[in-house]
Structure 1
């Protein structure tokens, strides 16, 4: 039985240098510092490398020498599929990827579960800095990132972390504009469907104590903005039902509005703190035979493409621009040691899922 044919070992930097009669530094410069070589010499090195099967300098050895990994880490406390399923996350990811492309650096996704305290992934990630995408204030993975001597940029939340750059929107102001819109339409019996308020799973009513103690500042701010709008109109916030859903899915939105309508059948409008929840709520309302907006107004927050196609009343925020700004803050940081905070604008989009209460029996001044 004959063995496999002898395979020629691939060339190394040293063997390639010997073949060409040049120094190993010259070969290395052909890849890493081409400005140090004349064009003919660099082309001779690269042609010989192709002919001899030299793959180029070892990236691991190069990272050890330069102490640079050549990649940005994106900490995402969700399943990996969330980054490609959630339209807000995909918009942000696109913007961050564009910033990385511009800088010629890689992007490493570091997805971790908010229900697990194992922080090894954050400790092991070989990156030059982190972008942290919307995590809770007490998230252990975020704390592990902060413990590393690397530049870090937070997108959305947590807010006001000392010494850390942040990019986000004014969530309170955005929701205040939406709440005022509904008040101007005459709605007073409002129900709310919100995203998770804590790291531990909770699916059910969220009282004011839970709302104000939320470890997710974006949800706190959105609820606070809606509360301010309703209070201006004389609505007692303590009587406004708020239903929380842990998962951020269409199914969670459908289930949440079902619980809300079953417990409070007299509400005339539902405000969701995200478009995904609102789209799920919209489908469930219609499956129950409710006409939107004739029987029930529904609004969301985010302005994702699916919501705009559905004609949802929402607050639009610039996800891709947030990703680009986060990348800029990290990759163009230079020697800056003063944190920078970037607040991008939001815009109220009035769609066809909200309307004024026109009939005399539809206007309620309270519960």
Structure 2
């Protein structure tokens, strides 16, 4: 059985094939085996299918008459390996798994991102999109499925539930903490702002063009506090490195600490970046917090175990996973929004600037 239709008759895979003058196999491959088609041909097939009102093969119809498999799908915006290696992502996955275990549901991990062929055909009843993607088109494949879905940390979309945190408020509390300690020379160790592999200083134009929601919100939080205290944001260097992780934090922080005058405090957009920044300080023979104060964001387990223990913004990763899964168990998930609290946790990695 194939889904999709419009007034005046049901649109099928054969309808699309006929309109394009291609075989049914070609249309099927556009959804199930995109590697067998050129990007240009696949784009043409999907565009025509959309114009005709055909959403693609129904992955459930071949195996289930009732249309349920008792499974939730989890789509990660980063490579699947990231979900098992990044501490914050691991905690989130634990939260989702707890609900699935309690409700006797399978959890299907969907590789390739939200616009992959797997996301289009995975046998699931609903989806969790743990994806910070551009609002326009970033989750088109998920939307086309017509299944209930929840977006976590990404854009708010019509018809979807949403779970997130106050990224801007959390970042603001981190910046305010450093200014209250007397720091005026700050630097930012940034998560990626744009998916283009850029490594270097993110100037104001690049900051303005950033499309990842969390990165944008955290930058805005930092900036609002800095400018509110009467300092120029243009004097705060922002450094990006790829791929995301501790080594990226180490490299970005090394560039910041090589500046003259050197920043006396670093705002890292995650704990992984902050832990890399602490390593960069050690590489440069600098003490934390004596020579440079460092604040992270996330409060993963390694933050409290670091030497010195990391000051950071705590967010409830496991609760975020639980809340996302629980939303999908309710009828009418569309439009349901949950913003979870954050708090600044002050530890030993921050103190006043040198000489104070």
Distance in 2 between residues matched to 1:337 and 1:170, nearest whole Å: 21
Counterpart of 2:66 in structure 1 is 66
State the match for 1:316 in structure 2. 314
SS across alignment from 1:323: helix
Q: Give the match's secondary structure for 2:74.
A: strand
1:149 aligned residue (139, 146, 149): 146
Cα drift, residue 141 of structure 1: 5.9
How many residues were matched structurally? Answer: 295
Aligned match of 2:4: none
CA–CA distance in structure 2, aligned partners of residues 264 and 125 of structure 1: 53
CA–CA separation in structure 2 for the residues paired with 1:276 and 1:337: 32
Query: Quick one: distance in 2 between partners of 1:113 and 1:123?
Result: 10
The SS at the match of 1:74 is: strand
Q: What SS class does the counterpart of residue 187 from structure 2 fall into?
A: strand
Shift of 1:204: 1.2
Kindly state the Cα deviation for residue 178 of structure 1 after the two structures are TM-superposed: 0.9
Secondary structure, in 3 states, of the residue corresponding to 1:294? coil
Equivalent in the alignment of 1:105? 105
CA shift, 1:69, in A, is: 2.1
Please list the CA deviations of residues 173-209 of structure 1 after superposition, one character each: whole Å capped at 9, or x if unmatched.
1111111110000101000011011222111111222
- In 1, Cα distance between equivalents of 2:113 and 2:340: 28
Structure 1, gaps ≥5 residues long = 1-59, 361-367
Q: Within the alignment, does 1:356 sit opposite 2:348 as a pair? A: no
- The equivalent position to 1:341 in structure 2, one of 333, 337, 340, is 337
Give, in whole Å, the separation in 1 of the partners of 2:65 and 2:170.
Answer: 48
TM-score w.r.t. length of structure 2: 0.79
For the pair 1:299 / 2:295, whether they are aligned, the reply is yes
Decide which structure has the larger Cα Rg and report it: 1
- Structure 2 partner of 1:266: 262
Partner of 1:205: 201
In structure 1, C-alpha distance between the alignment counterparts of 2:189 and 2:261, rounded to whole Å: 14
- The yes-or-no answer on 1:137 pairing with 2:123 is no
Give the Cα–Cα distance (whole angstroms) in 1 for the partners of residues 349 and 226 of structure 2.
19
Whether contact under 8 Å (1:268, 1:295) holds in the other structure is yes
3-state SS of the aligned residue for 1:263?
coil
List runs of 5+ in structure 2 lacking aligned partners: 1-59
The alpha-carbon distance between structure 1 residues 337 and 259, as it changes in their structure 2 partners (threshold 3 A), is closer
Kept after mapping to 2: 8 A contact 1:275/1:304: yes
Take 1:62 and 1:142, find their aligned partners in 2: how far apart are those partners? 25
1:79 aligns to what?
79
- Aligned Cα RMSD in Å? 1.9
Is 1:223 the counterpart of 2:219 in the alignment? yes
Change (3 A) 1:337 1:111: closer
Tell me the distance in 2 between the aligned counterparts of 1:192 and 1:302.
16
Tell me which stretches of 4 or more aligned residues in structure 1 moved more than 4 Å. Answer: 60-63, 138-141
Distance 1:252 1:181 in 2: 24
Instruction: Name the SS of the counterpart of 2:243 in structure 1.
Output: coil
Cα distance in 1 for residues equivalent to 2:61 and 2:351: 63
Q: Deviations over 1:190-246 (max 9, x none)?
A: 000110112221111112222232111111111101111111211100221001123
TM-score by length of 1: 0.76
- Say which SS state the counterpart of residue 98 (structure 2) adopts: helix
Offset from partner CA, 1:50-94 (integer Å, 9 cap, x none): xxxxxxxxxx99951221122111111222211110000000000
Question: Displacement, 1:101?
Answer: 1.4
- CA distance in 2: counterparts of 1:211 and 1:196, whole angstroms: 10
